[in-house]
Amino acid sequence: MCAITNKVGSYAYIGPQGIVHGTTLTILNAGRKYLGLEDLHGKVYVSSGLGGMSGAQGKAGVICNCVTVIAEVDPAALHKRHQQGWIQEVMTDLDAAIIRIRRARQQKTPVAIGVLCNVVALWQRLAAEQDELLVDLGSDQTSLHNPNNGGYYPVQLSFEEAQIVMVNNPARFKELVQESLRIQVDAINSLAVGRVCIDSSCMGSCLCSAWISVYSYVFVSPCPCRVTFIR
């Protein structure tokens, strides 16, 4: 899988078509490797980020026939992707999003849903569904090569609050980022019962490094990027 995704890496900076191509292959191969499936109808793919390169995730997920759920903290990025057709639905309420995920999953309807929320809150809400595992594949395309300067937004703050604290109190912002990463890892680990994998795409090595800095025992990854399986 790494060989395939590395092969398409040269396309990654020439526009959306390259990003869609690489992301699509990554999702398809994650399904093959970790779920043992060629057909991802009815499988739920959860991720974050709709700005920049991460904006391709909605379209790639639909190409793969997934129920694709992307969290985005910036309303401007979310609505831009909706207007462009990269995601098909916008939701602002997590409870309503859970209902929508269940329906699409049952109907096996490929759809890209953008949720205006922090991805940590989305993972926590998914983890609260004790009676049913609602996510099959997980991803994260926040820019964790730059976590303390806008690449990652801590769940404890709103998008607007985070921008203020980031500038006025960078030390506190860094503390909140680390705390938020711990919360995120806890939520994901509560779901990761051998069935959920994290694909962090181009930011994979950065994401793993950031998470390892707070939970050194979480990851065992022979590949420096792309797919990390959480057990």
Instruction: Say whether pLDDT at 143 is over 80.
Output: no
pLDDT at 4 over 80: no
Residue 119 has pLDDT above 80, yes or no: yes
pLDDT of amino acid 17:
63
Which tokens go with 110?
């490929």
What are the residue boundaries of the structural domains of the chain, listed by start?
Answer: 2-229
Q: Which residues pair with 112 in a beta bridge?
A: 68
Average pLDDT estimate for 127-136: 89
User: Among 33-42, 68-77, 211-220, whose mean pLDDT is lowest?
Assistant: 211-220
Averaged pLDDT of the chain: 80
- Judge whether 136 and 230 are in contact, CB under 8 Å: no
Give 29's contacts (C-beta < 8 A, 6+ positions apart).
1, 4, 5, 227
- Which residues, 6 or more positions from 111, have their beta carbon under 8 angstroms from its beta carbon? 62, 67, 68, 88, 89, 104
Q: What is the pLDDT of residues 157-167, one digit of tens each?
A: 999 999 999 99
- Better-scored residue on pLDDT, 91 or 56: 91
pLDDT tens string 56-73: 899 999 999 999 999 999
Collapse the DSSP code of 31 into the 3-class scheme (helix H, G, I; strand E, B; otherwise coil) and give the result. helix
In the predicted structure, residue 117 carries a pLDDT above the cut 70? yes
- What's the average model confidence in pLDDT over 88-100? 97
Which of 110, 55, 109 is closest to 85 using CA atoms? 55
CA-based torsion, 20, 23, 27, 28: positive or negative: positive
Dihedral (C-alpha) 66, 67, 71, 77: value to the nearest 10 degrees? 70
The pTM of this model reads 0.81
**Band of pLDDT at residue 94, cut at 50, 70 and 90:** very high
- Round to whole Å and give the CA distance between 11 and 19: 7
Q: Is the dihedral of CA 124, 129, 130, 136 positive or negative?
A: negative
Assigned fold of 2-229? Rossmann fold (3.40.50)
What confidence score (pLDDT) does residue 12 get? 52
